[in-house]
Amino acid sequence: PHLRAGKNVIAVLAYHYGCSNNYTRDARAGLFVQLDMSWDNKSRQVIGSDARWKVRQARGWRRDVGLVSNKVGVTEVYDANLDPANWAEPGFDDSSWEPPYVIPKDETPWSYLEPRQTPMMEEVEVFPSRVVKAG
């Protein structure tokens, strides 16, 4: 349901806190993507993250914000004006972006990978039916 006719793009915004707390682990950051697609004609296509991808460090996140607590984690302060608009759209010029560092198999920090057991989240736009008060 997410693919459109014509060109599509796979875009990932990954954020690594860089510290341990109740829900994150202080370890080497990484990203592994595998997209399995099935077509109406019964053919399949698999697309995965590899050295052909392009990366750019987002400049919008401030790095000088502190830890609220070990239970809550860090505060995120993001200025979207510091990152390019439409970076996740087909046709965006990523020619200045860099190739990723591909972690060799024998250096991965993950002991094993397992299939996702929970369904993927869906983003659904909900528009207000009326405005009660403005101003």
Strand bridging mode 67-69 / 73-74: antiparallel
Closest CA to 7 of 89, 78, 65: 89
What is the structure's pLDDT at 85? Answer: 92
Interval 85-95: pLDDT, tens:
999 999 999 99
Backbone dihedral angles phi then psi of residue 80, each to the nearest 5 degrees = -65, -20
Could you give the percent of the chain with pLDDT greater than 90? 39
Q: Taking the alpha carbons of 18, 74, 71, 121 in that order, is the dihedral positive or negative? A: negative
How far, rounded to the nearest angstrom, does the alpha carbon of residue 131 sit from its chain's CA centroid? Answer: 33
Interval 42-59: pLDDT, tens:
899 999 999 999 999 999
Q: Scan for tokens 């019964």, then name that residue.
A: 42
- The Cα 79–Cα 13 span in angstroms is 14
**Amino acid identity, position 81:** N
Tell me, yes or no, if the pTM score tops 0.75: no
Closest CA to 19 of 70, 56, 87: 70
